[in-house]
Amino acid sequence: MKRKSLSVIKKTLNFYLTRLKDPKVKKLYNIFSNNLATSDVVNKRIMVGVSGGVDSLSVLFFSQCYAIKHKAKLYPVIIDHKLRKESTNEAKNLKYKLKKSFGIDCKILSKKIPKIDKNIQSYARDLRYDLFLKECNKHNINYLLLGHHKDDLIENFFIRFLRGSGLKGLVSFYKNIIDYSGIKIVRPFLSISKKELIIINKKTFDFYVDDPTNNNDKFLRSRVRKLLINLDKDGLNFNKFYLTLKNLSKSDQVIEFFVKKNIIENSKYFKKDKKIILNQSFFNNPDEIILRSFSKAILLIGNKKNYPRGKKVVAIVDSLKSSKKNAKFTLSRCIIEKISDSVIIYPEK
């Protein structure tokens, strides 16, 4: 290796390790490192989603530190949604800045898309996860790190609340580690506020990209964000709110325990035929347990990433419970057939 290359590597290493000596940076790194240890990431390949915001750059900084300390392989990825004319240049500029100034080589992922007029942010999220998933599978990566923080957690709760979500939806963002089509998504900063990450950003990379859509009232998330800012000014204690969310999450875990119990005791999965048979006792449970159990069965047989829409599930479950006659329904690429006291779920051809 050339002397110049060694010098650049040494300078880069010094940049990261020196900043870890700062007490505030070190404190947050310990939280980050502990979350990764919990998810068994040690000495693994790690993908990091980089948007250029203070949250993703904080995760990127600590991921680089972690990779240096544990000799892990880092795959930083920038998603170009191509939903705005400026997005491609923004992605290229971010890649250039991180490479030139901090020795991090990001890969830009994008996909040609049709014109989108409705549910733009939902489409962007699905596109983002699909691109992450394909890249993870391509490089045999099992862990994806994202920069979601406490503010995102609270925003998501309010968004789900306004959309009429049940308990599962309200706390869906609470877990630090979730499984997504065989990939573990790790969100190490769900207990950390954006204000704290801004402080860390100033002590590390000292730059970030402000996404203009964050201030666009066209999107529900932007309107909710402004609402929360006003509530904060009026004295709403978000630490207490976070505690409430934590307690709701515990209630959700109790329900999930009985959902698992219901599936084990009252259903049988035939892998070869790819079908599930539900016995009569499957439906002799509280509504929430039945709905979740039934949705999991549909998700397995339909081989889809997302759960079926709640209203459709409720309607079919009510029909299965109330009807004494044989009946047949379709949902999420599945056939649901009631025969006598049993319900059979199998793939739609």
Residue 8 has pLDDT above 60, yes or no: no
272: its two tokens:
């070869």
* pLDDT value at residue 260: 96
Domains of the chain: 3-236 (3.40.50.620), 246-347 (3.30.465)
* pLDDT value at residue 214: 66
Across the beta sheet with 73-80, the strand order is 107-110, 73-80, 45-49, 143-145, 183-186, 177-180
Tell me: the pLDDT tens digits for 38-54?
A: 666 655 789 999 999 99
* pLDDT value at residue 20: 92
Q: What is the mean pLDDT of the chain?
A: 86
* Least confident segment among 54-68, 101-115, 258-272: 101-115
Print burial letters for 270-291: b (CB count within 10 Å at least 16), e (below 16): eeeeebbbbeeebbebeeebbb
Tell me: the pLDDT tens digits for 127-138?
A: 888 999 999 999
Confidence of residue 98 (pLDDT cuts 50, 70, 90): very high
Helices (H) and strands (E) in the chain, counts: 12, 11
Q: Name the β-bridge partners of 101.
A: none
* pLDDT value at residue 4: 47
Q: From the CB of residue 10, how many other CB atoms can be counted at a distance below 10 Å?
A: 10
The residue among 124 and 281 whose pLDDT is bigger is 281
* pLDDT value at residue 268: 96
Is the distance from CB of 51 to CB of 23 less than 8 angstroms? no
* Least confident segment among 79-83, 296-300, 314-318: 79-83
pTM: 0.81
Judging by DSSP bridges, how do beta strands 177-180 and 183-186 pair with one another? antiparallel
Confidence of residue 1 (pLDDT cuts 50, 70, 90): very low
